[in-house]
Amino acid sequence: MDVRVFTGSILDAPAEAIVNAANTELRHGGGVAAAIARAAGPAFEQASRAVGHCALGAAVATTAGDLPFRCVLHVPTIDYRAGGRRASAEELRDGVAAALRLAKERGCGSVALPILGSGVAGVPAAEACRRIALGLEAARASGNAPDAVLICAFPTSDVRAVESVFGPARASPME
């Protein structure tokens, strides 16, 4: 599995699937989830409502709606039904590994990930990246990983945190 840093919006990532930083209710009210929902349109929102729930430490897939991706993989980072409980390091690791397994099962060779947990859930970006790296390693070790993963640093103020864990960004992330 090739892991690269992509500096820009996940909506512009050259990948077959993207990961949404979701809440357990799959309601897309803020952060990257809201940006994805706005761009993906009503079919995406309807698919999320139909799934209805995803536990911390897990992942689910939905249509990408109007976006040019094969699917959106939702990894919850916060549970509002439990008083806003944030995903632990282990739950984030497991959620990332589950999302990558779903991508592989759906035939997606490349996946773009935001810095899960660093937005609404409030985990510092560098710590969130370390947690994501654990999920990538778990997926790699199990053989359930796509060929390529892009870690999206957006806003650009997060680039330093991402590069401290995953190495420097490259001009052409999938070459």
Token digits for 118?
Answer: 């660093």
C-alpha–C-alpha distance, residues 81 and 114, integer Å:
23
- Mean pLDDT (whole number) for 50-72: 97
The pLDDT value recorded for residue 167 is 84
Q: Across residues 59-74, what is the average pLDDT?
A: 98
**Tens digit of each residue's pLDDT (9 = 90 or more) over 72-128:** 999 999 999 999 999 999 999 999 999 999 999 999 999 999 999 888 778 889 999
Instruction: Using pLDDT thresholds of 50, 70 and 90, give the confidence band for residue 30.
Output: confident
Predicted model pTM: 0.92
Q: Report strand pairing: 17-23 vs 110-113.
A: parallel
Return the pLDDT at 170. 64
Instruction: Taking residues 26-41, report their average pLDDT.
Output: 94
Domains in the chain, ordered, with CATH?
2-166 (3.40.220.10)
On the question of pLDDT at 172 being above 60, the answer is no
Of 90, 105, 96, 103, nearest to 22 by C-alpha is 96
Spatial separation of the C-alpha atoms in residues 137 and 93, rounded to whole Å: 9
